[in-house]
Amino acid sequence: MCGIVGYVGNKSVTPLLIEGLKRLEYRGYDSAGIAVVNDHGMRVSRSVGRVSVLESNVMPTDGGNGVEPFDGCLGIAHTRWATHGEPSEANAHPHTCQTRCGNTVAVVHNGIIENYATLRQYLTKKGYHFTSETDTEVLAVLIAELYEGDLESAVQTALREVRGAYAIAVVCNREPHTLVCARKGSPLLIGLADKSYVVASDASAIIEHTTQAITLDDYQVAKLCAGMEDKTTADGGPWSVDFKTTTIDNLPVTHEVRELEIGLEQIELGDYPHYMLKEIMEQPESIRNCLRGRIDQRENRVVLGGLGEVSRQLVHAKRFILTGQGTAYHAGLIGEYLIQDLAKTPAHSEYASEFRYRNPLIEENTAIIAISQSGETADTLAALHEAKDRGALALGVVNTAGSTISRETDAGVYLHVGPEIGVASTKAFVGQVVVLTLMTLYLGRRKFLSQEALQSHLAQLERLPQHIATVLEQSDHIRGCVERWVDRDNWLFLGRGYNYPVALEGALKLKEISYIHAEGMPAAEMKHGPIALIDDGMPVVFIATQGSQYDKVMSNIEEVKARGGTIIAVATQGDREIHRYADSVFEVPDVPEALQPLVTVIPLQLVAYHAAVLRGLDVDKPRNLAKSVTVE
């Protein structure tokens, strides 16, 4: 999704902003732009396509055909993922507008201004002309219209008129040392660096400068100033930095500085060709981190500090609703199976986007579990609000510390798998399922689960990093197999029980990065229609591990085989039978059924990765996709 970077301080801003935008590239975007302010005015540049195009416009290396590099110590920049209006230079941010006294205001914005049409009509009547189709330009014009020499005040007044979601950063050439930013419903952080402030919608654009940051809350505005205390001193003279936070109604707010919990090495590629591969291959380590401190073997118990305060409410919960979108929804589906099976408590999972709009029934003692890697997904957040308003206990299973969902839940458990940069979610999915398993065991033990059953599951979970490492060793084998069918445009993924959500996840991974059409479904469902699709050589991926439904899955395999389909099977190590039917077999260690998704999904992640690479696609920047979907 869109990304914001802003800087005010004592360094040359243009390279800093370009570097910040590059750190945000993984989020997905289609155009980019920058505004730099100095004592002589403001310069703005916008371009369609990659940040490198913008970079060559504002930091020309070849003499720039007479174009001077942008120079200044204050600026804002943006990567745009089109919502209102096509990807074009005119629609790219920053959007600018002249104030009545001839100054220029520039705005970058993430989110959606819902009442933009009404505001646009009002401003058109006042004589303003619009040059883009965006909602953001309306905000820029409104701030310019209200500007009377105090940027902070103009922003506050404008935001009181706005409905919708926003994270914004605003500059004005009349105030060349001031950056104003604000948020409602879309994340925004302020990094407190040495003699400077870095504003960004994502911590990855900040941590190069500082790990100290403030997370703005909804309806908060921050005014950040930096500059030479005494203009008469030479370069390097005393530099003052200052900031204050208020609400949009100009009430003072006390801000809390926190330590960002990510390291630079976690967001750098290292020796890997793609973030997706890095994150797949590092899963033994990230899952070890996710499990760390959460299994007390001596006492045979699960330790989840984040649930301590609500443990009684959890035990009394009569129903669990698990919600999320995409991959997080698939994790929720596994959570539903786990909670019903091991904690013997009714549970159901639902797409957050559907839950939110269907007047959901929330009975007494219901708990909602919002699952989200980013913690910022708009649909998931809205579902959480809906359930909270109706009295549900709100729990979060979130990766990003300090994110909106994590702050708006009553309690929760972080994944601790490290930042996920690859657009296709991999380690976060496994982390989500691990956390849901731990939560189920935590709950189950307080209800019906025996000491022995708990002990056996915990022992298996402890071995999980090693199990995953064993599966990862087959990466080359998987690549070799995928190579044989990568030209096929339609694939099916089939599984039963705990492995049905894994089939959905395998299909989603394949389609989102390789653009191969893939469908996942319960294996038995195939006979009810989709079997008509099977023709000579169509790849059908079965999750056919040992367990209660093994024989049934084998029958489904025979049905596909009889119709000429190609069988790719994820099977339990040592299963000789499966080799008689399958064209390719990817082996996983023998683990109890309830834990199988944690290993069966790994080969499917690799299938998707290798298919995309073999098709020559940009794995980390799949078309049309955004890492964090902050609009509904």
Provide the annotated active-site residues.
Answer: 2, 627
* Nearer residue to ligand F6R within complex by CB, 134 or 372: 372
Quote the least distance from Cβ 370 to ligand F6R, whole Å.
9
Instruction: Return the exposure string of 588-627: e unless at least 16 CB atoms fall within 10 Å of the residue's CB, then b.
Output: bbbbebbbbbbbbbbbbbbbbbbbbbeeeeebbbbeeebb
Q: Quick check: 377 binds ligand F6R (CB under 6 A)? A: yes
* Nearer residue to ligand F6R within complex by CB, 77 or 322: 322
Give the residue nearest to ligand F6R (CB): 326
Quick one: tokens of 487?
Answer: 């030209």
325, 556, 584, 596: residue in contact with ligand F6R (rule CB under 6 A): 325
Q: Quick check: 349 binds ligand F6R (CB under 6 A)? A: no
**Cα separation values, 107 from 5, 35, 269, Å:** 11, 9, 32
Residue 210 burial (10 A CB sphere; 0-12, 13-18, 19+): middle
- Interface with ligand F6R by CB under 6 A: which range of 159-167, 174-182, 287-295, 325-333? 325-333
Kindly give the interhelix angle for 500-514 and 326-342, rounded to the nearest 10 degrees.
170
Quick one: tokens of 74?
Answer: 């204050």
- Interface with ligand F6R by CB under 6 A: which range of 28-36, 204-212, 369-377, 575-583? 369-377
* Nearer residue to ligand F6R within complex by CB, 20 or 396: 396
Alpha carbon distance 324, 384 (integer Å): 10
Quote the least distance from Cβ 373 to ligand F6R, whole Å.
3
Quote the least distance from Cβ 378 to ligand F6R, whole Å.
9
279, 282, 512, 620: residue in contact with ligand F6R (rule CB under 6 A): 512
- Residues that bind ligand F6R (rule: CB under 6 A) add up to a total of 16
SS3 of residue 83 by DSSP? coil
Quick one: which of 279, 423, 516 has its CA closest to 507?
516
* Nearer residue to ligand F6R within complex by CB, 403 or 572: 403
Q: What is the DSSP string of 510-555?
A: HHHHH--EEEEEEGGGGGGTGGGG--TT-EEEEE--SSTTHHHHHH
Quote the least distance from Cβ 279 to ligand F6R, whole Å.
11
Quote the least distance from Cβ 403 to ligand F6R, whole Å.
9
Q: Quick check: 326 binds ligand F6R (CB under 6 A)? A: yes
Site string for ligand F6R, 388-427 (x = CB under 6 A): ------------------------------------xx--
Alpha carbon distance 4, 205 (integer Å): 9
Q: Quick check: 434 binds ligand F6R (CB under 6 A)? A: no
**Dihedrals φ, ψ of 163, to 5°?**
-115, 140
Alpha carbon distance 578, 600 (integer Å): 15
* Nearer residue to ligand F6R within complex by CB, 327 or 440: 327
* Nearer residue to ligand F6R within complex by CB, 204 or 373: 373
Terminal C-alpha separation, the chain: 12
186, 245, 286, 374: residue in contact with ligand F6R (rule CB under 6 A): 374
* Nearer residue to ligand F6R within complex by CB, 42 or 331: 331
3-state helix/strand/coil string of 281-328: HCHHHHHHHHHCCCEECCCCEECCHHHHHHHHHHHHCCEEEEEECHHH
Site of interaction with ligand F6R (CB under 6 A): 324-328, 372-374, 377, 380, 424-425, 508, 512, 628-629
